[in-house]
């Protein structure tokens, strides 16, 4: 595969920051920029980073887990089944939280599946660059 150059302008500060960051990750600047482009292509989202999205999913999972823990603690303290809201039982409330948790896990799995190819390409490029320098 023949490589082609693509030129674009960066300020001196941008170039220094991007170069320092890519090097801190053990990547050449071009390899890192290509990985970002692959990630944007594979996720269809060039604005919001996958890491930001995964952090928001992690927060949702944490909240759901806390809710489950609070419900379990409460239900373990009472002896008789209790009807809540619109006649929902404690089992209904727990099942609802478990359904929410399952949806978040599935959402996270889909995001990870989208990111995985770009991460693997980045790792291969990193390995290639390391092998070429030896």
Across-strand partners of 88?
A: 84
Tokens of 115: 């990111």
For 44-81, where are the alpha helices, taking DSSP H only? 50-77
Across 52-64, b (16+ Cβ under 10 Å) vs e yields ebeeebeebbeeb
What are the boundaries of each domain within the chain? 12-133
pLDDT at position 116 is 67
pLDDT at position 16 is 92
Q: Is the pTM of the predicted complex or chain greater than 0.85?
A: no
Tokens of 22: 């890519």
pLDDT average per 10 residues of sequence, the chain (134 residues) = 85 91 90 85 69 76 81 73 61 78 79 68 65 61
Give CA–CA dist 75/58, Å, rounded. Answer: 25
pLDDT at position 127 is 67
């Amino acid at each position: 595969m023949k490589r082609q150059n693509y030129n674009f302008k960066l300020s001196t500060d941008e170039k220094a920051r991007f170069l320092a960051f890519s090097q801190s990750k053990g990547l050449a600047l071009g390899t890192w920029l290509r990985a970002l482009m692959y990630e944007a292509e594979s996720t269809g989202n060039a604005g919001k980073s996958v890491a930001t999205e995964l952090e928001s999913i992690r927060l949702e999972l944490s909240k759901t887990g806390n809710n489950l823990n609070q419900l379990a603690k409460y239900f373990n303290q009472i002896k008789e089944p209790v009807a809540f809201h619109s006649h929902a039982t404690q089992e209904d409330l727990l099942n609802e939280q478990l359904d929410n948790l399952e949806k978040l896990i599935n959402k996270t799995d889909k995001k990870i599946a989208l990111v995985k190819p770009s991460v693997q390409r980045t790792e291969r490029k990193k390995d290639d660059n390391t092998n070429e320098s030896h």
